[in-house]
Structure 1
Amino acid sequence: MMKEIDVKHACSFTGHRPERLNQYSEKEVVNWLDQQIDAAVENGYTDFISGMQRGVDIWAAEIVLKKKKEHENIRLFAACAFPGMERQWESSWIERYNDIFKLADDHVFVRNNPGRAAFYARNEWMVDHSSRVIAVYTGAPGGTLDTIKYAEANGRDVIQICKKG
């Protein structure tokens, strides 16, 4: 059984995969995420939920794991769309995923079967279990935009990096 998430003090992440972040460098995104996670901790957030996807989710989870060394009260939850969602990735991403998965305070597989619906269900699950969403959004349609819209429609605090230009 999964550990109880303190929804009022929980923050989730949404964002694009690395190949869709054409207007931002990885360094820019990681620095921005680091600042937002610090701000969330200062605002009393203790539970962080990563969707465990390549890019923003993995980077955010890695930052939270580093912050856990300074802040013993923060926890990381891995919200995976389905078992094995990482199997088709490059080996370096699979390794990072596995390292995070082992170090997370708990994890959940939102669906049992692969498919687009599993990712949308995972995104909604993360929003439903948090009061703030930290978003890296470039203006492109897709799951990140849908997650932001779902979060806003459900009264969540959405912090997002703004599209350049």
Structure 2
Amino acid sequence: MLFSIDSGVPVLPCEEIETDKEKTICFTGHRENSVIPYKGEQIYYGITLRTVQLMLFRYIDMAVESGYKTFISGLAAGTDLWAAKYILGKKHSDSSIRLIGVMPYLRHAERFSDRYKELLADAERGADMLLTTNTDPLVVYGKSRGGENTSPDLYRVRNYFMVDNASAVISYFNEGSYKSGTSQTLNYAVRQGLKIRRFGLEEAYGVIDECGPDIESIRRKLVFMENVFELPY
């Protein structure tokens, strides 16, 4: 039996996944350092970050409204853990919602900040299943295959596994980030025919343009946003 380094929760091999694929969504998205403040002014960083997060949460709400019940998080800092934390909150009021956490390898969070390590541990403890796509306790990410116990494929394998076990993807993706893992995952999801619902900084800036840097106005606008999962594209 494997256990998480960060929470002590048992970790199962990915083959143990149990889910209804048609009602399952996975996430892919950027880290927090991808958030460029509105108008490039640092004073707006907080409102920009919060708008991105609120848009992500609204997409999750819309997915639930459209019948999706299981959410797969890759437990990465940024989008994945923001989503996981929000889903844990929704589970309190809807016991049919499930969170599956999938780590790329056991030591994946060694370079996380303390804040994200805390978010990760909470997500792992609250998840309905905690899986890993690599069960070797010594393996770490490395850009070449020459090093002992290193692999350049760990994140890609995790990302593709999530796509293969879902029917839709929610993504925070910024145009131009085409060399990112998020872009790689989205391209794979397109090839596999998944429904993709994504937003980026341009959409967040548009919301701030309309509402101003007022978080309550932004919340109200997003509540009345048309359900993107009901759109035909």
Same fold by TM-score greater than 0.5: yes
Aligned partner (choices 192, 195, 203) of residue 157 of structure 1: 195
Aligned partner (choices 50, 74, 79) of residue 73 of structure 2: 50
User: What is the aligned partner in structure 1 of residue 20 from structure 2?
Assistant: 6
- Contact kept, 8 Å, 2:17 with 2:131, in 1: the verdict is no
- Contact kept, 8 Å, 1:85 with 1:114, in 2: the verdict is yes
- 1:16-50 deviation per Cα after TM superposition (whole angstroms, max 9, x unaligned): 11112225732112111111111111111010000
Write the letter of the residue equivalent to 1:143. Answer: G
Write the letter of the residue equivalent to 2:140. Answer: P
TM-score by length of 2: 0.67
Q: 1:8 to 1:23 in 2, by over 3 A?
A: farther
Q: 1:136 to 1:23 in 2, by over 3 A?
A: farther
User: What is the aligned partner in structure 2 of residue 85 from structure 1?
Assistant: 108
User: What is the aligned partner in structure 2 of residue 121 from structure 1?
Assistant: 157
- Contact kept, 8 Å, 1:21 with 1:138, in 2: the verdict is no
- Contact kept, 8 Å, 1:23 with 1:138, in 2: the verdict is no
| C-alpha distance in structure 1 between counterparts of 2:37 and 2:169, whole Å | 21
Q: Do residues 99 (structure 1) and 125 (structure 2) align?
A: no
1:15 positional shift: 0.3
| C-alpha distance in structure 2 between counterparts of 1:87 and 1:8, whole Å | 34
Relative to structure 2, which stretch is displaced further, 58-67 or 28-37? 28-37
SS in 1 for 2:153: helix
Q: 1:23 to 1:123 in 2, by over 3 A?
A: farther
1:163 positional shift: 4.8
Give 5+ residue unaligned stretches, structure 2: 1-11, 39-47, 142-151, 206-233
| C-alpha distance in structure 1 between counterparts of 2:82 and 2:122, whole Å | 12
User: What is the aligned partner in structure 1 of residue 92 from structure 2?
Assistant: 69
- Contact kept, 8 Å, 1:81 with 1:118, in 2: the verdict is yes
| Aligned CA-pair RMSD | 1.5
- Contact kept, 8 Å, 2:57 with 2:86, in 1: the verdict is yes
| C-alpha distance in structure 1 between counterparts of 2:33 and 2:61, whole Å | 26
User: What is the aligned partner in structure 2 of residue 21 from structure 1?
Assistant: 35
Larger Rg: 2
Q: 1:37 to 1:23 in 2, by over 3 A?
A: same
- 1:82-120 deviation per Cα after TM superposition (whole angstroms, max 9, x unaligned): 002111211111111011111100011112322241101
Percent of residue pairs bearing the same amino acid type: 30
Write the letter of the residue equivalent to 1:120. Answer: R
- Contact kept, 8 Å, 1:80 with 1:122, in 2: the verdict is yes
Give 5+ residue unaligned stretches, structure 1: none
| C-alpha distance in structure 2 between counterparts of 1:23 and 1:12, whole Å | 26
| C-alpha distance in structure 2 between counterparts of 1:12 and 1:99, whole Å | 19
